[in-house]
Structure 1
Amino acid sequence: MAHPIKYIEDNLVFNHDGEVFAYYELIPYNYSFLSSDEKVQVHDNFRQLIAQNRDGKIHALQLATESSIRATQEQSKKEITGRLKEIAYEKIDEQTEALVSMIGDNQVDYRFFIGFKLLLNEQEVSVKNIGKDIQKAFAEFFHGVNHKLMGDFVSMPMSEIERFSKMEQLLESKLSRRFHIRPLGKDDFGYIIAHLYGQTGIPFDDYDYHLPKRYEDKKVLVKKYDIIKPTRCLIEEKQRYLRMEQEDTTTYVAYFTINSIVGELDFPNSEIFYYQQQQFTFPIDTSMNVEIVANKKALSTVRNKKKELKDLDSHAWESDNETSTNVVDALESVDELETNLDQTKESMYKLSYVVRVSAKNLDELKQRCDEVKDFYDDLSIKLVRPFGDMLGLHNEFIPSSKRYINDYIQYVTSDFLAGLGFGATQMLGENSGIYVGYNLDTGRNIYLQPSLASQGIKGSVTNALASAFIGSLGGGKSFSNNMLVYYSVLFGGQAIIVDPKAERGKWKETLPDIAHEINIVNLTSENDNKGLLDPYVILKLPKDSESLAIDILTFLTGISSRDSEKFPVLRKAIRSVTQSEQRGLLLVIDELRKEDTPISNSIADHIESFVDYDFAHLLFSDGNVTQSISLEKQLNIIQVADLVLPDSNSSFEEYTTMELLSVAMLIVISTFALDFIHSDRSIFKIVDLDEAWSFLQVAQGKALSMRLVRAGRAMNAGVYFVTQNADDLLDEKMKNNIGLKFAFRSTDLVEIKKTLEFFGVDKEDENNQKRLRELENGQCLVSDIYGRVGVMQFHPIFEELLHAFDTRPPVRNEGEK
């Protein structure tokens, strides 16, 4: 069979039938976890895109292309800065080798291409243009003769190219209003054709289609050989498959087409293009050749069909036979279609739908073909693999080709075509960055760049750097949080982890590669640590110290700012300490004693009752503290031993004295982290608050959290909240300031609904609820900075990370006493 493509110019393809198609890549849109209303909106956009073409042809292709894992990992290296650069390069190289050994050099990407036949405007059919067309016909005739006799070139008049280029620009502006599209180039066409002819192993972005052109006397000349170069392979046609032999590989390819659609395809849930990406573990390609039948012609065809069916019905009645149910059903369908076409004035569409399945051997091909048939069977679509038509169906995939066979045409409406989910996919994360895991539905690698949100990237729905890790105990939230912080530090970030459970004390031993950049501050109840968390010691500016001192002492004593008797007395004592030479929380008690009123003595007694309580001496000093907490290293962990955190269900009134002191400590450390945020803006910083719910429940903690989040956005810092419930993240104001979201397994229905609402997906949808309930350890619902939601499996790759970040208690081996 002759190759249909005559000439390629940018995204225009000229075929040998005198037709010109303009091809675009439809940038896939995220379709996972959309509500029914959002799906209907996408459906309507697509339906209008199809329906606006009153005439002509549309060619839609879904291809399983390849993308290079090595290239993505190398691209990720460009994001790395900071003192750990060399170690990070080493880690990424090890990561690359591990990924390649698991899934190969390339992974499958589904890409969507759509071509529209360009039709000449009526105004161009004038006497002058008729003359030009006659001239062109003679030129083509002579070119044909020359080619047969001596030539090997395709010649295209430049005026012809310019004429269609102008039309293509109008079409592109019309399409880009509804969808993100990218005009194709010669390399894209080269890849598509080579892929269809069995070439594998070259990533889509790396393919180079060498197509040299010569310009002569208002004509462009291209060697015919260069046009057909990507088709180079030996094809052996069998009855039900093609054998394609490239230099180093042999591929077996089978083609299916639709024989009949035996049931209704209910939208949503009939998005074939979307679901087949998740269904199959192997790549498949799909082509839709659509010929548009104008409304008038469609009505005429339908009415003729109706007459035929009525004749059959009459004939049966005359011969005393019952009309078959097939004829009755067909008559009903034709009536409905006629009414629909008459009212909407829409076109009809002649659809040729072909599915391409490939494999390395015949057994694998048979198995894959059976899977594809079963999948379509479940959707009430009967596929057929016609004998002897494999090469013809293969040609239907080639850009600008015509429909090969009329036996399997389906007459459909724009609604049907829009409901197939062309362009729908599940996308998560970035194109490069930190490899964190893979998409559980599609198997695609997921990369994150935690510092990207503040850059105002096109398409992002947030500029917030804060992140939330939520879920019940044991789902994997601490592990995944540790992993993201670790890699952010490797990539050049700086982090401070507030670790109230002291679970990260052995990181220097378990992470030897970066041990020199880990600083673990253990705030024990030893005398050496006395006053280390005193607001007047830990913060540099007296004004900040005073503010924190008020927060801590009102929190511990329960004195509200609305208490007109006690609050002014406490406030005055704190102010006096701030203005004196020597500053410390213990001196507030002295100032209150100096006041010597019943109220001041009562407050002094109350504060003094905390001073010698367990580890409270960390908070109280007379200002004579020589050591301080240093945050010079890239990864800083602050641990307070013996903290007793309140239960997440406890109300503030139920807090014990130890719990009050513990939360007070966290408030001081988090305020100290606020100082850390205000350091170098060029470095991405993370403040990681483990067990964040414990101080998000109290007024001082809430106010502090909002300050941390707001300051973080301005100072290139992300606040990571690790907590159990979505409700812990306070009001909508706080939730709207969170960019990346991770939700782990939850079994409580009320909590599941709140989590789904937090992620902006339909909380009443039973499938959504089921997904969250049935997540396994290390799996989570993730929402990226573009608002796309999907299910991810965190994948640490390295054994040492698994060991370092595992917070489970050790299992006692048999024989241990």
Structure 2
Amino acid sequence: MFEVPKAIINSIDRNEKDDFKALTTSVLSGIREYKNFDISMIPLDVALDTMYLKLSQDFSEDTEDLAWYILDESYTRLRESVDRIFEYHWYLTIPLKSSHISFDKKEMFKTSINYLTKKVYEPLVGKVTYQKDWYLAYEVYASDLEKKLSLLMAKPLNTQETIFINRLQYLRGIDFDRAFEVSATRNTLENLDDTSLTWENFNILTLHNGLEKSYLAMLPVAYIPENVSYLHLLEDIQGFNFPIETLTKAIFSSKKGTFSVPAKANRARLRHNKAIADGDAAGGVDQNKKERSKALVEDLLVRSNDDEILLGYLQTLVFADQNYDALVEKMRIVMDACSKNGIELVKARADQLYLFYKNRLTQTLDDSDKNFIQITTLDGFVENLFFTGQKVGQDVGFYIGRIDANKGSWYGDFKKAIESSINFAYVNPFQANKLDVAGKVTSNPHIAITGDIGGGKSFLTKYLFLYSSLLKAKTLYIDPKAEMRRQYLKVLKEYETKGIYPEIQDYIRSINFVTLDKNNRSNWGALDPIVFLKGVEAKDLAISMTNEIYSLRNKEEFHSAFLDSLDKHLALRERGEKVGMLTVFRDLEKHRSKAVRVSANLLVKMVQNSILSLCFSDGQNQAVDTDSRITVLEVTGLDLPTDEKDELSDSQIKSLVVMYALGHYCHKFGSENRKQETIIFLDEAWFFNATAVGRGIIKRIKRVGRSENNFLVLITQSVDDTADEDDGTGFGTIFAFNSDTEAEKVLNRLKIPVTDETISWFESMTMGQCIFRDTFGRCERITVDGLFPEINVLFDTVETDMKAVA
């Protein structure tokens, strides 16, 4: 018995699915000699509490009260929102019967005789013993089988896992203690099926295990469409928001014999010929159906003659619930959905006991089995899409939302999208650059959040900021829209007045809110490059900022004088004198050249009484503090255009200069201590891409990156801002919200094939939905879930006096 790790394939990527189906066909064709195999898709509970305990190891002491509150509440609220928190696991079972592992003809005959002897004499003379080394032959062939399954990365189960999966067949829908059940079964195999199986409510099976009880229904697939291309039944099953166990028992067809597929097909052809001959000569629905059935039989015969691999399989969907009415409703939902895809499930009430025992892992199909058997080619069989699943995000992290299995639109109802999914996504930005995380395709720590205004990217960003700040890292949020401080302090006041949510109150108090206001003289020079930077970095920024507000091109005399004065004042600052950029300009007002004096005087006037006073000062004030663990830095009075395609006004150019300074401040913040994780949230980052200098600043911040444990979260409007052919750093994680004009660009950036289907998939996203690409290369559409209304209010940024709503 092997566990096959699910291949994570994007739900909309047909090419990747086709490639994986071809791989599955190749692997299964290699086990044809074993005759039988089972494929089980089993829902197993997720140990959410265990995962959260691992996450808690990285909590920062100063905010751990809120961190624990979030974990405790999310555990409770998630469990209340769904029947079970689970994920599907895939198992491939191949019986190594004694007569199957003796491939030498004489040895096979001997083995078969011994097997028959055991069956005949054991009831008469008692238990027949085996040789002490009976298992050695099995080990050899089991090892050979593992090699044949290597392309699926299948791993044999250990003893405890094997016991549990077999015992689970008798515990469906029942609460149990896994360790106890495994221990009891190891003690004696008599405990393996120690569950009472009874009939209740019109042939619904009922399992009893002590005081626990559950209802069980096994629905076999009775008919499948004539054309099974892209049937993908097992993918569709995973899209329901409740667990459905799916069991598929298969047997490869013999080429000859009474029960071989060719023999069965020939008999069926004779029956169809007779039925058609006896039918109504005028045709009609029944007659057409008979003709199609005959054509399918003829097709099977042709394929058999062409040496295509044929097999028969029994496929059963298993439903379990402790509430009978809930069980019936689940069955109805799935039967209706399957019917729309041409798949017929039957209740098979008279066959429930047969199906229960036939579907046990120790049972195999025989050539003579007839009930609910589907006959198809191996290529048609793998169209079920076995061994796949959808997943995105980290294995250890905070809950952020749910994967959306729907490929269409929710028409704005994001709550319905959340309720319809049980596939949770978790995030932990700091796992990106850890070396011991298996399966990653990149260690790039940077995150990009893109999309149009109003799609939900700000809401997601604030949650990522919150979760990051609860861990052992220094966190900086650049808030050029000056939204956060006002709203956070407003909520703090409300909660203090009402005496509620003390954990949230303490968290807000732990944040260092820094407001840079040009009207506050104490803020002047807080972002002055001579004040908060040194050496070459200070000089480069000073030149870039000056050139942005007053072009130095074709002004060689002033340019030269400016550089001389700048070098002089940088040296003075190194010696401890309080000088700044405005000091440089005032120095140039005394220059012997009138042209230099005029230019310097113009720059002084441009700086005074403007937002530029934050960056050009006399150096008397302190620079922005970088010591606090959590800092929100806002700048009031920035004039940011609403669209990056707008041409910049003089006021916006001055705001761009301030953004330059903020960018360099971020670089300094991220590179000060390479042993300390730092994360920077740079909002309205698209503004930097308005100029070559701004793009260069973003590159510098990104290049601090993994080597210095710095993470950049770039919040911007266009996905174009995340890619630069001259920049090899890129982004390891991307959240792409809807954008009216960028569907193809986003899909290309996320490496998703561009088709009409994928474009519709992207453009049909509703508010709160985005495409999430993680560091494992996995990509899915998720719905961001604001699980905490008491925290969500921190992120409200729209103020209005209007009361009426629809």
**What is the Cα deviation at residue 386 of structure 1?**
2.9
Aligned to 1:498, the other structure's residue is in SS state strand
Q: Does 1:427 align with 2:423?
A: no
Q: Does 1:788 align with 2:775?
A: no
Which residue in the other structure is 2:754 paired with? Answer: 763
Q: Say which is worse superposed, 137-146 or 373-382, in terms of deviation.
A: 137-146
**What is the Cα deviation at residue 272 of structure 1?**
0.5
Which residue in the other structure is 1:482 paired with? Answer: 462
Call closer, same or farther: CA 1:300–1:289 in 2, change over 3 Å. closer
Call closer, same or farther: CA 1:49–1:598 in 2, change over 3 Å. farther
Query: What is the alpha-carbon distance in structure 2 between the residues aligned to residue 144 and residue 682 of structure 1?
Result: 71
Amino acid at match of 1:480: L
- TM-score, normalised to structure 1, is 0.85
Amino acid at match of 1:796: G
Query: What is the alpha-carbon distance in structure 1 between the residues aligned to residue 221 and residue 180 of structure 2?
Result: 32
Query: What is the alpha-carbon distance in structure 1 between the residues aligned to residue 119 and residue 356 of structure 2?
Result: 28
Q: Does 1:230 align with 2:210?
A: no
**What is the Cα deviation at residue 674 of structure 1?**
0.8
Q: Does the CA-based 8 Å contact 2:59-2:472 persist in structure 1?
A: yes
Q: How do 1:373-384 residues align onto structure 2 when only pairs under 5 Å count? A: 373-384=335-346
Amino acid at match of 2:528: D
Query: What is the alpha-carbon distance in structure 2 between the residues aligned to residue 253 and residue 264 of structure 1?
Result: 31
Which residue in the other structure is 1:352 paired with? Answer: 314
**What is the Cα deviation at residue 790 of structure 1?**
2.0
Over the residues paired in the alignment, what is the CA RMSD in angstroms?
A: 3.3
Query: What is the alpha-carbon distance in structure 1 between the residues aligned to residue 515 and residue 145 of structure 2?
Result: 65
More strand by share: 1
Call closer, same or farther: CA 1:257–1:135 in 2, change over 3 Å. closer
Q: How do 1:727-766 residues align onto structure 2 when only pairs under 5 Å count? A: 727-732=720-725, 737-746=730-739, 748=740, 750-766=741-757
**What is the Cα deviation at residue 595 of structure 1?**
5.6
Q: Does the CA-based 8 Å contact 2:257-2:263 persist in structure 1?
A: no
**What is the Cα deviation at residue 548 of structure 1?**
1.4
**What is the Cα deviation at residue 331 of structure 1?**
4.1
Select 1:616's aligned residue among 606, 612, 626.
612
Deviation string 1:103-122 (CA, Å, 9 cap, x unpaired) is 46x41322211112337788
Which residue in the other structure is 2:449 paired with? Answer: 469
Q: Does the CA-based 8 Å contact 1:258-1:382 persist in structure 2?
A: yes
Which residue in the other structure is 2:249 paired with? Answer: 289
Q: How do 1:346-495 residues align onto structure 2 when only pairs under 5 Å count? A: 346-403=308-365, 405-441=369-405, 442-456=421-435, 457-495=437-475
Deviation string 1:684-703 (CA, Å, 9 cap, x unpaired) is 21111111111222111100
Call closer, same or farther: CA 1:483–1:367 in 2, change over 3 Å. closer
Query: What is the alpha-carbon distance in structure 1 between the residues aligned to residue 76 and residue 323 of structure 2?
Result: 27
Deviation string 1:333-383 (CA, Å, 9 cap, x unpaired) is 34433333333x332101111222223344333333332322222222222
Q: Does the CA-based 8 Å contact 1:66-1:201 persist in structure 2?
A: no
Query: What is the alpha-carbon distance in structure 2 between the residues aligned to residue 397 and residue 736 of structure 1?
Result: 52
Query: What is the alpha-carbon distance in structure 2 between the residues aligned to residue 300 and residue 640 of structure 1?
Result: 78
Q: Does the CA-based 8 Å contact 1:243-1:253 persist in structure 2?
A: yes
Which residue in the other structure is 1:272 paired with? Answer: 233
Query: What is the alpha-carbon distance in structure 2 between the residues aligned to residue 204 and residue 79 of structure 1?
Result: 29
Q: Does the CA-based 8 Å contact 1:742-1:781 persist in structure 2?
A: yes
Aligned to 1:801, the other structure's residue is in SS state helix
Amino acid at match of 1:765: D
Q: Say which is worse superposed, 696-705 or 551-560, in terms of deviation.
A: 551-560
Amino acid at match of 1:111: H
**What is the Cα deviation at residue 607 of structure 1?**
2.7
**What is the Cα deviation at residue 443 of structure 1?**
2.0
**What is the Cα deviation at residue 594 of structure 1?**
6.0
Q: Does the CA-based 8 Å contact 1:237-1:390 persist in structure 2?
A: no
Query: What is the alpha-carbon distance in structure 2 between the residues aligned to residue 656 and residue 136 of structure 1?
Result: 90
Amino acid at match of 1:263: E
Query: What is the alpha-carbon distance in structure 1 between the residues aligned to residue 478 and residue 711 of structure 2?
Result: 14
Amino acid at match of 1:614: S
Q: Does the CA-based 8 Å contact 1:294-1:346 persist in structure 2?
A: no
Sequence identity of aligned pairs in percent? 21
Query: What is the alpha-carbon distance in structure 1 between the residues aligned to residue 174 and residue 674 of structure 2?
Result: 42
Query: What is the alpha-carbon distance in structure 1 between the residues aligned to residue 753 and residue 111 of structure 2?
Result: 59
Call closer, same or farther: CA 1:410–1:707 in 2, change over 3 Å. same
Q: Does the CA-based 8 Å contact 2:101-2:137 persist in structure 1?
A: no
Query: What is the alpha-carbon distance in structure 2 between the residues aligned to residue 395 and residue 466 of structure 1?
Result: 52
Aligned to 1:291, the other structure's residue is in SS state strand
**What is the Cα deviation at residue 729 of structure 1?**
3.0
**What is the Cα deviation at residue 127 of structure 1?**
5.8
Query: What is the alpha-carbon distance in structure 2 between the residues aligned to residue 394 and residue 121 of structure 1?
Result: 25
Query: What is the alpha-carbon distance in structure 2 between the residues aligned to residue 387 and residue 288 of structure 1?
Result: 19
Call closer, same or farther: CA 1:461–1:811 in 2, change over 3 Å. farther
Uncovered stretches (5+) of structure 1, i.e. residues with no partner:
1-22, 149-153, 214-222
Q: How do 1:408-807 residues align onto structure 2 when only pairs under 5 Å count? A: 408-441=372-405, 442-456=421-435, 457-506=437-486, 507-508=488-489, 510=492, 511-525=504-518, 526-539=520-533, 541-559=534-552, 570-580=562-572, 581=575, 582=577, 583-590=579-586, 592-593=588-589, 596-597=592-593, 600-601=596-597, 603-623=599-619, 625-650=620-645, 654-732=647-725, 737-746=730-739, 748=740, 750-766=741-757, 768-807=758-797
**What is the Cα deviation at residue 466 of structure 1?**
1.1
Q: Does the CA-based 8 Å contact 1:298-1:347 persist in structure 2?
A: no
Select 2:211's aligned residue among 248, 271, 291.
248
Call closer, same or farther: CA 1:212–1:408 in 2, change over 3 Å. closer
Q: Does the CA-based 8 Å contact 2:43-2:245 persist in structure 1?
A: yes
Select 1:808's aligned residue among 785, 790, 798.
798
Uncovered stretches (5+) of structure 2, i.e. residues with no partner:
406-420, 493-503
Select 2:49's aligned residue among 64, 70, 81.
70
Which residue in the other structure is 2:418 paired with? Answer: none
Q: Does 1:309 align with 2:309?
A: no
- TM-score, normalised to structure 2, is 0.86
**What is the Cα deviation at residue 516 of structure 1?**
4.1
Select 1:85's aligned residue among 64, 68, 74.
64
Which residue in the other structure is 1:191 paired with? Answer: 164
Call closer, same or farther: CA 1:199–1:350 in 2, change over 3 Å. closer
Aligned to 1:349, the other structure's residue is in SS state strand
Call closer, same or farther: CA 1:124–1:335 in 2, change over 3 Å. closer
Q: Does the CA-based 8 Å contact 2:173-2:320 persist in structure 1?
A: no
Which residue in the other structure is 2:144 paired with? Answer: 170
Call closer, same or farther: CA 1:140–1:737 in 2, change over 3 Å. same
**What is the Cα deviation at residue 431 of structure 1?**
2.3
**What is the Cα deviation at residue 467 of structure 1?**
0.9
Query: What is the alpha-carbon distance in structure 2 between the residues aligned to residue 368 and residue 425 of structure 1?
Result: 21
Query: What is the alpha-carbon distance in structure 1 between the residues aligned to residue 721 and residue 95 of structure 2?
Result: 55
Call closer, same or farther: CA 1:799–1:314 in 2, change over 3 Å. closer
**What is the Cα deviation at residue 237 of structure 1?**
3.6
Select 1:115's aligned residue among 85, 93, 108.
93
Which residue in the other structure is 1:217 paired with? Answer: none
Amino acid at match of 2:796: D
Q: Does the CA-based 8 Å contact 1:745-1:780 persist in structure 2?
A: yes
Which residue in the other structure is 2:496 paired with? Answer: none
Query: What is the alpha-carbon distance in structure 1 between the residues aligned to residue 803 and residue 209 of structure 2?
Result: 56
Call closer, same or farther: CA 1:265–1:565 in 2, change over 3 Å. farther
Q: Does the CA-based 8 Å contact 1:754-1:763 persist in structure 2?
A: no
Query: What is the alpha-carbon distance in structure 2 between the residues aligned to residue 300 and residue 141 of structure 1?
Result: 28
Aligned to 2:430, the other structure's residue is in SS state coil
Q: How do 1:100-111 residues align onto structure 2 when only pairs under 5 Å count? A: 100-103=79-82, 106-111=84-89
**What is the Cα deviation at residue 284 of structure 1?**
1.7
Q: Does the CA-based 8 Å contact 2:644-2:686 persist in structure 1?
A: no
Query: What is the alpha-carbon distance in structure 1 between the residues aligned to residue 318 and residue 62 of structure 2?
Result: 50
